[in-house]
Homo-oligomer: A and B are copies of this chain.
Amino acid sequence: MKKQDSLYMQVYDYYRGLIESGKMHNGEKIPSIRRSASEFGVSKTTIEQAYMCLCDDGYLVPKKQSGYYVSRRAEQRKSEISKRQKLTENKLIYDFASSGVDSESFDLSLWRRYVKSALRQTERLLGYGEPQGEKELREEIAMFAKQNRNCVCDASNIIIGAGVQSLLHILCPLICERKSIVFSDPNYIQGVSVFTDHGFEISKTFDGADIIYTSPSRKTRWGETISVAERFKLAEYAVAEDKLIIEDDYGSEFRYVNKPTPSLQGLSGGKNTVYLGTFSKLLLPSIRISYMILPSEINEKYRKVSSVYNQTVSKVDQIALCSFIRDGHLSSQIRKSRKLYLQKSKILCDLLAESFEDKVTIGKTDSPLFVKAEIKTDMSLNELVKSCEKNGLKIVPISENGNGIEIAFSVSAISVEKMEKGVNLLKSLITDSE
């Protein structure tokens, strides 16, 4: 079934490409179903399906007894797309700092099937659903978080929301007896702002804060993590000093080692810790599904007000994700992504070594999403970042010393082809300055 799915999408993409690139024009007739079928060597059903989709998406219009023609809307769409592309192209060509995902890493056609399936559950889609999130999905997430992150949880203390911010908006009033919060990454403006908006004081020191917001799986922007020993220490400290830990487990799934470090929430037995997880990195950034695991005392408070907070995730996405996890696709997606990012990291390391030869020292990071490199140059870090930006190249700056600079590269969203060109460009920017 999947093969067929992708066959028709190949035909779809082929004709869409011709239309969007202007190789086929408004009013032009495309080959008949019979002819296309024989040209592509596929069944007429496959071609018909592709043509139907092209009609649905406004690229073609069917004419009775005559065939399929390129629509007028296709021209319009073409100019929209080129406008959008121009906008992004002018700004940024080689993005080594992205938090997006690789188009290869996610099987969109598989996800499509699950969404379609969810859309067929007519009766379920007619009601508002549970404010906490669909129970079946919470059960699947509980199993997933237990198995993969050692979390202490079940369906009853998991809350589903459209992104971490939506969940923090529910959390803040539940912990308002605490006054101040410290962020291990003070630049995480999305988190800081929610707490500021809710009247919390942002503390600069650990000791001065009642709440500690930390991302142990992402200590730095370039994917370093906090060790198990440090995690234990933090968990103990929190219990001893009655601090609440908010563990934002962003990016935990892509560690080098096969099984990622257990979560703080798990290490502390679920006490004093609120756990935040998200599926945006695993699936698609445009699918906004996150979850929060509450310790029992906060969960009891939540129960009393749960009906006040409407669910923010569409039920279609919840139903789709539930079946997707149940059928084991989330786990295989993690394995697949990890492998892909490892390959890409390896390729980038080779490219850097080739280009910069003895001028580069490549460092290890804890995440396959990032490669760290120390490059010998007279340029300052600031100069390099500016020069890169001017030329459409984006990197993650780390540090500098007399000898050179240390930078990191995210391999998550950039293609292998662009990696090569990006590294060459970087090389020329550094060489030109000398």
Chain B residues within an 8 Å CB radius of A199: 198-199
Contact partner of A122 (CB less than 8 A), chosen from B103, B116, B312, is: B103
Contact partner of A116 (CB less than 8 A), chosen from B112, B163, B197, B309, is: B112
Chain B residues within an 8 Å CB radius of A6: none
B113 contacts A126, C-beta separation under 8 Å? no
A6 to chain B, nearest CB (A): 12
A314 contacts B285, C-beta separation under 8 Å? no
Q: Which of A52-60, A369-377, A420-428 contacts B (4 or more CB under 8 A)?
A: A52-60
B166 contacts A312, C-beta separation under 8 Å? yes
A82 CB within 8 Å of chain B: no
A45 CB within 8 Å of chain B: yes
A1 contacts B128, C-beta separation under 8 Å? no
A117 contacts B56, C-beta separation under 8 Å? yes
Q: Which of A206-214, A315-323, A385-393 contacts B (4 or more CB under 8 A)?
A: A315-323
Chain B residues within an 8 Å CB radius of A166: 162, 166, 169, 312
Chain B residues within an 8 Å CB radius of A123: 103
B312 contacts A314, C-beta separation under 8 Å? no
Within 8 A of B (CB), among A125-181: 125-129, 136, 162-166, 169, 172-173, 176
Within 8 A of B (CB), among A243-257: none
A56 contacts B113, C-beta separation under 8 Å? yes
A99 contacts B116, C-beta separation under 8 Å? no
Report the Cα distance A9→B285, complex, angstroms: 31
Total contacting residues, chain A, CB less than 8 A = 71
Copies per complex?
Answer: 2
A416 CB within 8 Å of chain B: no
Q: A57-B117, A316-B115 are in contact. Are A308 and B122 (CB under 8 A)?
A: no
Chain B residues within an 8 Å CB radius of A52: 1
B308 contacts A287, C-beta separation under 8 Å? no
Contact partner of A127 (CB less than 8 A), chosen from B111, B136, B189, B286, is: B286
A64 to chain B, nearest CB (A): 13
Within 8 A of B (CB), among A307-359: 307-317, 323
A340 to chain B, nearest CB (A): 14
Q: A127-B285, A127-B286 are in contact. Are A162 and B165 (CB under 8 A)?
A: no
One digit per residue, 1 when the CB lies within 8 angstroms of any chain B CB and 0 when it does not, for chain A 80-98 equals 1000000000000000000
Chain B residues within an 8 Å CB radius of A285: 126-129
Report the Cα distance A317→B317, complex, angstroms: 10
Contact partner of A198 (CB less than 8 A), chosen from B117, B198, B284, is: B198
A193 CB within 8 Å of chain B: yes
B198 contacts A163, C-beta separation under 8 Å? no
Q: A1-B55, A58-B323, A313-B162 are in contact. Are A99 and B112 (CB under 8 A)?
A: no
Report the Cα distance A115→B111, complex, angstroms: 12
A74 to chain B, nearest CB (A): 13
Contact partner of A45 (CB less than 8 A), chosen from B9, B45, B198, B286, is: B45
B126 contacts A119, C-beta separation under 8 Å? no
A305 CB within 8 Å of chain B: yes
- The 5 A-B residue pairs whose C-beta atoms are closest, nearest first, are A286-B315, A162-B312, A173-B197, A128-B285, A193-B308
Given contacts A193-B309, A288-B311, A314-B317, 4 further A-B contacts (CB under 8 A): A162-B312, A193-B305, A288-B314, A316-B317
18 residue pairs from A and B, CB less than 8 Å apart: A1-B56, A56-B113, A56-B117, A100-B128, A103-B122, A115-B116, A126-B284, A126-B285, A126-B413, A162-B162, A163-B311, A165-B310, A166-B312, A169-B194, A189-B307, A193-B309, A198-B199, A288-B313
